[in-house]
Amino acid sequence: MAEILCLNAGSSSLKFALYATPDTGEPTLLANGKIENIGLEPHLIARDAKGEVLAERRWTKDGTVTHETLLEDLLREIETSVGDDLIGVGHRIVHGGADHSAPARVDEALLAALEALCPLAPLHQPHNLAAIRAVSRLRPALPQVACFDTGFHHGQLSVATRLALPRALSEEGMRRYGFHGVSYEYIARQLRSIDPGAGGGRTIAAHLGNGASLCAMDRGRSIDTTMGFTALDGLVMGTRSGALDPGAVLYLFQQKGMTAREVEHLLYSESGLLGVSGISSDMRALLGSETAAAQEAIDLFVWQIARQAGALASSLGGLDSFVFTAGIGENAPEVRARVAERLGWLGVELDVDANLGGAAVISAPSSRVEVRVIPTDEERMIAIHTADLLREEPKS
């Protein structure tokens, strides 16, 4: 059996999943997990496919534990358990730019092109690429595949991607790209397989996690999305502001005298649910809080989802189905109910018990729009692409 490792590398965390890939057909999950708190006191937890803990480990802060040493430990552990059956590594890469949409085998030319995109996603892309470089150094012969979060949105019409700025800036790459594409591709695939009718219609998918966005899908293809040039645009998120009057950003520079770094930190790390509530970026904490500020943060979160869903329904020219996914979308019935209530005018009507009970279809039989909860699985999507690409281009 051949195995594939999927990596999703962030600034202080590394999510991983190990899949067995048969010669034909879908990969099957063997184990997954996360190393958190990298740079401080890293903590690893790995589980098997049933969710049972396989390994848990903590490192103390001593300056010698880096992303790369942690990755080396992880590779060694995996190789101890699967021998030399590891045939490749698939990565989630936030930005593929204008030129890269389909998953691609990593080589020096691709890496250089992706490095050039770091200014467009400064908080994510450098960490994604550092993981590729680390694997190249540690296991130079191991094939690697990059899957782009921007890729799924590539076929959008230029009217959906253009920013109303002077053309010279668009030609330099200032345009709307959209993100969460690996998740949306998985959702489109699942929807097509469980409900071909809905998969062939007009759908809004809501990926509501720490990062949050909506995607308008027409017959499974992205035609519009709320994230744009960067992953700051669109919905209110855990710590990100979402769409903001550009004049508000000018005000921060001109009247508040803030530096670019300070504004970046404010918009990416101190805003959103955390900024409005003053309590937490975590929806569970806000739902459990009685304070008016926590309620205001949830109100704003819901308001913006409904408002922007209305815009995407306009892009689609109507709506047949709505899908909730990711941490909040999959687990917070109260948020789903409040979003659905605001979308009643579009024909959304929930079944209260199905929503509370965590059913797969949560709309009422009389609802004009079918509403589903579909758990996302970005790692599985990466494993599928990596397996497909390695089958096409066997190891040289």
Q: CB 206 → ligand ADP: shortest distance, Å?
A: 12
Instruction: Give the binding range for ligand ADP (CB under 6 A) out of 83-91, 168-176, 308-316, 320-328.
Output: 320-328
Q: Which is catalytic among the residues 73, 149, 233, 377?
A: 149
Q: Does 211 bind ligand ADP (CB under 6 A)?
A: yes
Q: Count of CB atoms within 10 A of residue 196's CB? A: 11
Q: Does 206 bind ligand ADP (CB under 6 A)?
A: no
Annotation says 149 is catalytic = yes
Distant-in-sequence, close-in-space partners of 361: CB < 8 Å, separation ≥ 6? 354, 370, 371, 372
Site for ligand ADP (CB under 6 A): which residue of 170, 269, 295, 331? 331
Q: Build a one-symbol-per-residue string for 232-271: x at contacts with ligand ADP by CB under 6 A, - elsewhere.
A: ------x---------------------------------
Choice between 202 and 207, CB closer to ligand ADP: 207
Site for ligand ADP (CB under 6 A): which residue of 332, 382, 387, 390? 332
**Do the beta carbons of residue 147 and residue 90 sit within 8 Å?**
yes
Q: Identify the CA nearest to 308 among candidates 219, 387, 237.
A: 237
Choice between 37 and 81, CB closer to ligand ADP: 37
Q: Does 143 bind ligand ADP (CB under 6 A)?
A: no
Q: Identify the CA nearest to 77 among candidates 46, 50, 43, 53.
A: 46
Q: CB 328 → ligand ADP: shortest distance, Å?
A: 4
Choice between 143 and 238, CB closer to ligand ADP: 238
Choice between 335 and 390, CB closer to ligand ADP: 335
Q: CB 335 → ligand ADP: shortest distance, Å?
A: 7
Q: CB 211 → ligand ADP: shortest distance, Å?
A: 5
Q: Does 214 bind ligand ADP (CB under 6 A)?
A: no
Q: Does 289 bind ligand ADP (CB under 6 A)?
A: no
Residue whose Cβ sits closest to ligand ADP: 327
Can you say how many angstroms the Cα of residue 109 is from the centroid of all Cα atoms in its chain? 25
Choice between 214 and 283, CB closer to ligand ADP: 283
Q: Build a one-symbol-per-residue string for 268-287: x at contacts with ligand ADP by CB under 6 A, - elsewhere.
A: --------------xxx--x
Q: Does 210 bind ligand ADP (CB under 6 A)?
A: yes
Choice between 14 and 283, CB closer to ligand ADP: 283
Choice between 104 and 340, CB closer to ligand ADP: 340
Number of residues forming the site for ligand ADP (CB under 6 A): 13
Choice between 22 and 288, CB closer to ligand ADP: 288
Distant-in-sequence, close-in-space partners of 22: CB < 8 Å, separation ≥ 6? 1, 28
Q: CB 285 → ligand ADP: shortest distance, Å?
A: 7
- Sign, CA dihedral 111-10-207-144, equals positive
Q: Does 326 bind ligand ADP (CB under 6 A)?
A: yes
Site for ligand ADP (CB under 6 A): which residue of 151, 199, 220, 327? 327
**Residues at the contact surface with ligand ADP, assessed by CB under 6 A:** 209-211, 238, 282-284, 287, 326-328, 331-332
Q: Could you give the residue numbers annotated as active site?
A: 149
